Amino acid sequence: MLNSSSHTPIDYVIVDHISQSFPSSEGELKILKNISFHIGESEVVAIIGPSGSGKTTLLNLIAGIDTPTSGSITIWGTEITRLSDDGRSDFRANHLGFVFQDFLLLDHLTVAENVMLPIEMHGLEARFSLEEILERVGLTSKTNSKINILSRGERQRVAIARAFIGKIPFLLADEPTGNLDTKNSQKIMDMLLNFAEELGVTVLLVTHDPEIYRRANRVIDLATFA
Ligand SMILES: Nc1ncnc2c1ncn2[C@@H]1O[C@H](COP(=O)(O)OP(=O)(O)OP(=O)(O)O)[C@@H](O)[C@H]1O
Ligand SMILES: [Mg+2]
């Protein structure tokens, strides 16, 4: 397993001629067609494109949750598209952080338990103590609260704390502010981008929101690959 703290000059994400199709009642549904791009270390890249253009599909491929019909994805020198299912899960647990629109938090666990999952379940090396990270996201008073009593903005702050508590080099975010009002949305983005900048974490972010994608170093429009 690659150690995320020992980066080499090959460190980046390479998406190389990716296509993805799904079976449908009208035959094969081609979602992604020959998508290629690179992401440099510590870059913040936004993926945009109309609803249904395959943004989430692409993120699932890069996360190794799904495998493409063709093409390859290399992350920090590991070609994840050649790994087994278990290999990809392992890689994901050790290298990637996630902040998604529907949070992906475990409702029956507390804030502390959710935040500690990457460290306790996957043995990821910690970058912050639990107390430190909860203080940073302003959730100290909610440490022992169950997720289901939290507001949407608070849940997204839990997701951010969980994403950044371990030493991950790469964060994937899918519409991280999609369900939040403008004020909360801005607060969450500030928090996410500040952590990424401070820690040198590379970010791939899916968004519809021009206020958000104009803050990225680079924007990739899936419509331009059609
Ligand atoms: N596992 C699957 N099987 C069949 N079709 C799928 C599957 N996953 C996604 N699709 C289809 O692929 C298309 C792209 O979906 P995707 O969720 O990637 O779009 P998106 O760009 O993220 O859209 P949105 O902006 O609405 O979130 C959709 O038409 C969807 O129904
Ligand atoms: Mg989507």
User: Which residue, by CA, sits nearest to atom 6 of ligand 1?
Assistant: 22
- pLDDT at site 10: 54
Instruction: Please report which confidence band the pLDDT of residue 101 belongs to, taking 50, 70 and 90 as the band edges.
Output: confident
pLDDT over threshold 80, residue 30: yes
Tokens of 139: 């959730």
User: Which residue, by CA, sits nearest to atom 4 of ligand 1?
Assistant: 22
pLDDT over threshold 50, residue 2: no
Alpha carbons 89 and 183: distance in angstroms, whole number = 35
Alpha carbons 154 and 147: distance in angstroms, whole number = 9
| Helices 111-122 and 85-95: angle between axes, nearest 10 degrees | 120
As a whole number, the mean pLDDT across the chain is 91
Quick one: 42-55+83-225 is in which CATH superfamily? P-loop containing nucleotide triphosphate hydrolases (3.40.50.300)
Ligand of minimum distance to the alpha carbon of 22: 1
- Which residue ranges have their beta carbon within 6 Å of ligand 1? 22, 29, 31, 49, 51-57
Distance 153 CA to ligand 1 centre (A): 25
Instruction: Please report which confidence band the pLDDT of residue 11 belongs to, taking 50, 70 and 90 as the band edges.
Output: low
Q: What is the DSSP letter of 185?
A: H
User: Which residue, by CA, sits nearest to atom 24 of ligand 1?
Assistant: 51
- pLDDT at site 122: 83
pLDDT over threshold 90, residue 92: yes
pLDDT over threshold 80, residue 226: no
Instruction: Please report which confidence band the pLDDT of residue 5 belongs to, taking 50, 70 and 90 as the band edges.
Output: very low
Distance 132 CA to ligand 1 centre (A): 37
Q: Angle 59-106-176 (CA atoms, 0-180°, nearest 5)?
A: 40
Distance 113 CA to ligand 2 centre (A): 27
User: Which residue, by CA, sits nearest to atom 18 of ligand 1?
Assistant: 54
* Cβ atoms within 10 Å, residue 56: 17
Contact 46, 17 (CB under 8 A): no
Ligand of minimum distance to the alpha carbon of 49: 1
- Per-residue pLDDT reduced to its tens digit, 109-140: 999 999 999 999 888 999 999 999 999 999 99
Distance 112 CA to ligand 2 centre (A): 28
Task: Give the mean model confidence (pLDDT) for residues 178-191.
Answer: 89
**100-109, 179-188, 208-217: range with lowest mean pLDDT:** 100-109
Alpha carbons 210 and 190: distance in angstroms, whole number = 15
Of 20, 31, 222, the residue with max ligand 1 atoms within 8 A of its CB, to mutate for a pocket test, comes to 31
Tokens of 141: 């008073």
User: Which residue, by CA, sits nearest to atom 30 of ligand 1?
Assistant: 52
- pLDDT at site 225: 81
pLDDT over threshold 80, residue 55: yes
Nearest to 155 by CA among 210, 207, 105: 105
User: Which residue, by CA, sits nearest to atom 26 of ligand 1?
Assistant: 51
pLDDT over threshold 90, residue 3: no
Task: Give the mean model confidence (pLDDT) for residues 30-58.
Answer: 94
Greater model confidence, 115 or 6: 115
